[in-house]
Amino acid sequence: MLKWRILSNRLNRLNSSFKLMHTSSSLSRKRIYRSTSDDVFYNLALEDWLYQHSDEELLILWKNSPCVVIGRHQNPWIEANIPYLKKQNIKLARRNSGGGTVFHDHGNLNLSFITNKSQYNRRNNLELICRALHGVGVSAVINERDDILLNGKKISGTAAKLARNRAYHHCTVLVDVDRQSLSQSLKNEYSHEIIKTNATRSIRSPIENISGQVSDITLDEVERCIAGEYAQGADIENFHHDIITGGDEILEIYQNFKSWQWVYGKSPKFFIEDKISVNGSEIEIQLSIVNGIVETLHINSEIRNINGSGVNLVLSEDSLSNITQNMRGLEKECMEIFSEKMSKIL
């Protein structure tokens, strides 16, 4: 039976643009959920909540408004063009699964196959997608890196998360994505000379839209084919409206996915190394950043521990603001924290 709960205003606003429709296959305990929200943070939260709270085999389908999604252990400053994202109002999100950075917009279909750990099988899922695509005249193949290719170019990226009992494999299908926006968004702004880290790196590959081969194909059509293949004969036109009862829990997960601490702060420890001109002379600066906070500052050959005291730097207020400006537009919050700590020390 449907259960209604009083949701917070925020969730109401989101939910008013979101309907959860599901259909179940009579052949096996499988469900297909289709989100009509295009908020990347909400969709990530929905996926996470269903992964944690359901014990069924699920397929979730959704699309996002323009956004860049980085992998769990990546550094956004080297994976995406953050100033461009801010200018274009393109969101930046970090997902819980591994893998590299991807760009989403309304021309990109997201799929998430959620199963028990023992049923986790990426290859099967990708083959299912390929079968569905063959049915609409798209001659897709799978390579050894679990990418789906069309004429040698990537039309799908894959990532996964595995826990003890549950797992999910999610992937994208590029139907008709804005390629210019994609390449601008993923152009990394800071060279690897400046940012040094153990974070996982994306492997860039040439991409292609399905619309390149079948020009009049729509995302809805692709979605229907894949859902049909997954449901194996169940009547997928009979969608039932349902409301997820875990409203507050999804909101909590949503807020975490949206937080600076998760998106930027979760970056693995990294170092920023640069030479900048201060007071007419060139000095070498090295910052180490852990959990998004500047931990140490190394100037020329002397290490200053930010949390320590007795730092003897011959730098004026102007020089300090020069340093912060010269750090090539790093995330504003990060630099504000840095300036705050520096001005306490000086």
Partner 1 sequence: MITTLNKMRGMTWLVRKSLRINLTVEQRLIHISAVHLQKRYSGKHEWAELDKDNSVKIGISQYAADALGDVVYAALPEEGQEIIEDSECGALESVKAASEIYSPLPGIVLEKNERVENKPALINTSPEGDGWLFRVKLEDLSLFEKLMTKEEYMKYLESQTDDLD
- Looking at 20, 70, 150, 160, which residue binds partner 1 (CB under 8 A)? 160
Does residue 256 interact with partner 1 by CB under 8 A? no
- Nearest distance from C-beta of residue 159 to partner 1, angstroms: 5
Contact 213, 151 (CB under 8 A): yes
Alpha-carbon dihedral 116, 117, 122, 125, rounded to 10 degrees: -10
The 8-class DSSP code of residue 71 comes to -
CB 46 within 8 A of CB 244: yes
What are the b/e assignments for 112-141, b being 16+ CB within 10 Å?
bbbbeeeebebeebbebbbebbeeeebebe
Distance CA 191, CA 175 (A): 31
Please state the closest distance from residue 238 (CB atom) to partner 1, in A: 34
Can you tell me which of 28, 54, 116, 198 binds partner 1, judged by CB under 8 A? Answer: 198
Nearer to partner 1, 97 or 288 (CB): 97
Tell me how far, at minimum, the Cβ of 75 lies from partner 1, in Å: 11
Give the number of residues written for the chain: 346
Q: Is residue 96 involved in binding partner 1 (CB under 8 A)?
A: yes
CA distance 46 to 243: 12
Please report whether residue 161 would count as binding partner 1 according to CB under 8 A: yes
Span of 57-65, 67-75, 248-256, 271-279 interacting with partner 1 by CB under 8 A:
67-75
- One residue of 5, 56, 119, 162 binding partner 1 per CB under 8 A: 162
**Looking at 23, 35, 81, 97, which residue binds partner 1 (CB under 8 A)?**
97
Site residues for partner 1 per CB under 8 A: 71-73, 96-100, 146, 158-164, 198-200, 268
